Structure 1
Amino acid sequence: MNTTRNHAEANVRRTVLFVCAHNAGRSQLAAGLAAARAGDTVRVLSAGTNPGERVDATVLASLAELGIDRSDQVPQPVTPELIAQADVVIALKPNLALPAHPHVETWPLPDPEGWDLEGIRSLRNHLDHRIEDLLTEIVP
């Protein structure tokens, strides 16, 4: 990703959109971690190409272990309007059918559906490191 910015761009709050299939696991986990790490410096969104009914309870429990409460989140569809709000889109599954966007990164991750808390922890920790790197790139 090209992170070169001019002075005017450095003062603009970036928006990151995390996308997976159901917006119930990977993208919610990533969004929760990113929002907690970034605070007010980055706007964090998440969506799915085929949203589920609710966020996975084990994903929520994994975030709660870190003091992150995402229980108010509801899976939502990725739309052209939502994707247009993002400075960067992180697809957490290869080959997602996404509206066009000039800055899409793909982080291929396994689907945690049906995983226990121990399994989710390893995915959460992996994502946390990736998000830390991403935030270093995009936060002025």
Structure 2
Amino acid sequence: MKWLGVSFVMFLALALFPQTAGEHVILHAPYIEEVEGDTSNAPYKVQFIDLDNYQSISAYENTFTTVPDNGKKLTVKVLNMNNSGKVILNVYRGTEEFGYMDVIAGREGIRTFAMNDGSGVTGDWKVYITTRDGHVMNLQVQAGQH
């Protein structure tokens, strides 16, 4: 009777978990990645930050949420309209930080993100801009999904 119970348990284990010994099941979850060198000028399907003009010594911060139906890429653009000095731009998705990017005076910094599997971009995002020396920032900020 004891062997009948052990046999039944083994049968259930094989029925529920049919992979062979030593075989690993690897699930590749989609993740977000920055698209280097993408200066996309595609029109936004949804614009989260619409040419926000910002002038202050305090850091700029804006948050928004993307959904897959709105597009496969998210682009953040920052125009540093100062005559001198640089600003540093950081973008976050949830708790994931993508690192700082320097944007020198008179130039535009562009960061584009996409899902590695080609699906639509999703997540809670934050755009954060500040300086290293505390000078007054004069910015034009834009972000959208396309």
TM interval, shorter chain, is under 0.3
The structure carrying a bigger strand percent of its residues is 2
- Larger Rg over CA atoms: 2
Identify the structure with the greater helix proportion.
Answer: 1
Give me the TM-score of the superposition, normalised by structure 2.
0.24
Normalising by structure 1, we get a TM-score of: 0.24
